[in-house]
A = this chain, B = another copy of it.
Amino acid sequence: MSRPLQVIVQLLAGSCRALDPLELYELGRQCYPRLGLVTVYRTLEKLEALGLVQRVHLDSHCNRYLRAAQGHEHVLICTSCGRTVFFKGDDLSSLMNATARQSGFAIHDHWLQLFGICSECDTEGNSPE
């Protein structure tokens, strides 16, 4: 396992919010100055293909990465500070079945994100962006 890979994985594992390639590049260079931005892109691509990492999509910014959800986990994102939390939301199957029946689609995937204000930001009186 190469140094750049280590650095990037560690950053993603240690962050409580999703990071974009440029952030990973800049943070990564703090502990490994030779790191290249291209490597960040290529590493994210591989980690995503392996299912270890996933993107977080906001109305703008669809290039931030996070540890991948496992099983029926989904992501909850604080729109104030960016903090992300996983939660379990298993009971979508009835909705998916009903929708499949009505639409005639064979549904093979679903994708749920929740947005909110985390308790810390709420205490500080911040408002959503």
Q: Is the CB of A102 within 8 A of B114?
A: no
Q: Is the CB of A109 within 8 A of B105?
A: no
**What 0/1 pattern do residues 88 to 106 of A give for CB contact below 8 A with B?**
0101100110011011111
Q: Is the CB of B103 within 8 A of A107?
A: no
Expressed in whole angstroms, the Cα–Cα distance for A40 and B36 within the complex equals 35
User: In the complex, what residue of chain B is closest to A61 when comparing beta carbons?
Assistant: B62
Bin chain A's interface residue count. 35 or more
Knowing A57-B57, A62-B57, say if A85 contacts B103 (CB, 8 Å). yes
Q: Which residues of B contact A110 (CB under 8 A)?
A: 112-115
Q: Is the CB of B85 within 8 A of A105?
A: yes
A59 contacts chain B at the CB level, 8 A cutoff: yes
Q: Is the CB of A107 within 8 A of B111?
A: no
User: In the complex, what residue of chain B is closest to A94 when comparing beta carbons?
Assistant: B91
User: Can you list 21 residue pairs at the A/B interface with Cβ under 8 Å?
Assistant: A76-B99, A78-B105, A79-B109, A91-B95, A92-B95, A96-B114, A103-B118, A104-B118, A105-B114, A105-B116, A105-B118, A105-B119, A106-B122, A107-B116, A108-B116, A108-B117, A108-B128, A110-B114, A111-B112, A111-B113, A111-B114
